[in-house]
Amino acid sequence: MALDLQQQEEMEEVKRVWHSWLKWVVLFLVVLACLYLGHKAWRDYQKNKNEEATDLLVQFQSLMEQSQQAEAMGVLKTLQEDYANTMPATIATSAIGTLSFYSNQFEDASRHFQWIYDHQKDKFVKAMTITDLAKIKMQQKKFDEALALLDEKTEADLQFLFEDLKGDIYMAKGEEATAQKAYDKAISLLPEPNEVITEEDIAQVRTQIEAKKIIQIPKI
């Protein structure tokens, strides 16, 4: 009987602790567990999606090498519709966009690079895509539209790319003084050496921009 009484007292103590704070600790742990499992499931899902997209990219590249462009475009359509947020979809779309650009199919190239801009969240890729779109506008002699694209803010380490291209566009317009200012600003914004860009790389970029200040770029 004494043992039963002791057990009853312990049970009452457990109930008291549960109602005071333990239930919140357990609830918190349950929430954490759900978040972890949800994150793991999403990560596994994304991993599988990326693996599937990579397989499709390999297939796309193989078809392009075999000059089977119609079949390759079918694979690209699948990548864009089912794997839009993956890097393989971006790579394949960029390949077709670049091919269209150098084939002087500027509207088609613009459509592909615009797709990348709309679907890719990576800031570096977005910055590169903006420059691609601006170059297309430049080739179409839509200089003001090209400059408007380059007014978009980007990462500080990438801003020099925009200013450098602005210089090219102003030079193509025949506004050499404005072009010189853009080139100077590009040089002033060159990033410091880091784990990606070496001091030698930066020196080469600076030399190339300085050369454009001297060499006359013919108007488009």
The per-residue pLDDT for 197 is: 75
pLDDT at 66 over 60: yes
Terminal Cα-to-Cα distance of the chain (whole angstroms): 101
Distance CA 1, CA 180 (A): 97
Instruction: Please tell me the chain's helix, strand, coil percentages from 3-state DSSP, rounded to the nearest 5.
Output: 80, 0, 20
Identify which of 148, 164, 172, 145 has the alpha carbon closest to the alpha carbon of residue 205.
164
Query: Does residue 110 carry a pLDDT above 90?
Result: yes
Whose structure tokens read 């009987």?
1
Closest CA to 130 of 112, 149, 148, 103: 149
pTM: 0.72
Place of tokens 């297309």: 136
Taking only the tens place, the pLDDT of each residue in 7-56 is 565 555 545 544 444 444 445 455 555 554 544 554 555 567 778 888 89
CA-CA distances (angstroms) from residue 114 to 53, 98, 119, 155?
Answer: 20, 12, 9, 19
Tens of pLDDT along 113-152? 999 999 988 888 889 999 999 999 999 999 999 999 999 8
Beta strands in 80-135 (DSSP E): none
The predicted-structure confidence for 145-186, as pLDDT tens digits, reads as follows 999 999 988 888 889 999 999 999 999 999 999 999 999 999
